[in-house]
Amino acid sequence: MRTIEAKTILSTQNGLNIYRSRRWGLRAFDAKSGNAGQRKVPEEGEVKENAPELLETSLRRKRRKCMIMIGGMSEPYPKEEEHYGLMRSCLKLIDRYGFGATVQSNSALLLRDLDLLVSIHRKTRCTVEMSLCTPDEALGKKLEPDASRVSERLRVLHSLRDAGIPAAVCLTPFFPFVNDDWNQLRELLSVCVDAGLYGLYHCGFGVTLRASEQEPFYRELEECFPGFGERYRAHYGDRRELTVPNHEELEALCQTICRDYKIEHRPDRIFTYQHAFVDRSAGEQLSLFQLFPEATDGAG
């Protein structure tokens, strides 16, 4: 991984991204998955080796405490983190200076820092978000080759639940005729419920392609699932919005499960919760349902 000296480390929305790494496989083509600019990242990736120093300077200068949003643009726990340890150093600083944290990661390496996540959550708030798209290990590795195995991510979610760390899951990516089976989604939702999530949402059941990436997507699709390129073209033609045929049934299933188990499924409310800083030393401990009292009536 290429090392760089960054000039700044926090975005205007308090986003922290230590690493820049490409996504691989079919998901890298899905515009809805937030992959803008991914193709411009060097193949070997980049690491901001001075991230802890920059972060400490930024945290010292802040007049008000807030949530630090970690990993929104790139995986904060790539395999290189085992060598660099930059994520752990940054979490220590967030903990020391009394800031909160929301971590978006699909890596089981996150459990290495469970002690710091718990420490942050005792003082303020710490939340974690992962993505899942199938309960099937082999299919999951095909669709998300750069993420930890499905079973490993579920182990992370169970560990977070047991440690009292609020966790959410984004159901993504979903590809027509690949992982859009109703029974498979029901099984996936079942394991999510068992993980004790507070939030469960999706970005739409289907794929959105950019015009320039349509042909490369079909080549990758054919390589992963022979014959599916022709099947897609027959069904969708030249469309770039590839919505799964049974998306309404899948949406209804998600809403029913979330309502029955009192799991928030509205993205805007999940994001509000993730961004809401609390100061437990001052007795301020707002839950998701205190932020949105009507959420106790179910997710409708």
Q: What digits encode the pLDDT tens for the residues 215-235? A: 999 999 999 999 999 999 999
Instruction: Please state, as a whole number, how many other Cβ atoms lie within 10 Å of the Cβ of residue 216.
Output: 14
| Lowest mean pLDDT, pick from 58-72, 81-95, 124-138, 275-289 | 275-289
Q: What digits encode the pLDDT tens for the residues 143-202? A: 999 999 999 999 999 999 999 999 999 999 999 999 999 999 999 999 999 999 999 999
Mean pLDDT, the chain, integer: 91
Q: What digits encode the pLDDT tens for the residues 96-115? A: 999 999 999 999 999 999 99
Residue 136, judged by CB atoms within 10 A of its CB (0-12, 13-18, 19+), counts as: middle
**Taking 80 as the threshold, does the pLDDT of residue 39 lie above it?**
no
What is the C-alpha to C-alpha distance for residues 210 and 208, in angstroms, rounded to an integer?
7
- The strand pair at 206-208 and 241-243 is best described as antiparallel
Q: Which two tokens stand for residue 273?
A: 């919760």
Percent of the chain topping pLDDT 90 = 80
Percent of the chain topping pLDDT 70 = 91
Strand partners, 132: 171
pLDDT confidence tier of residue 300, bands split at 50, 70 and 90: very low
What pLDDT is stored for residue 287 in this prediction? 60
pLDDT confidence tier of residue 38, bands split at 50, 70 and 90: low
pLDDT confidence tier of residue 283, bands split at 50, 70 and 90: low
Which residue do the tokens 């400490």 mark?
Answer: 56
pTM, two decimals, is 0.91
Q: What digits encode the pLDDT tens for the residues 194-215? A: 999 999 999 889 999 988 888 9
**Taking 90 as the threshold, does the pLDDT of residue 9 lie above it?**
yes
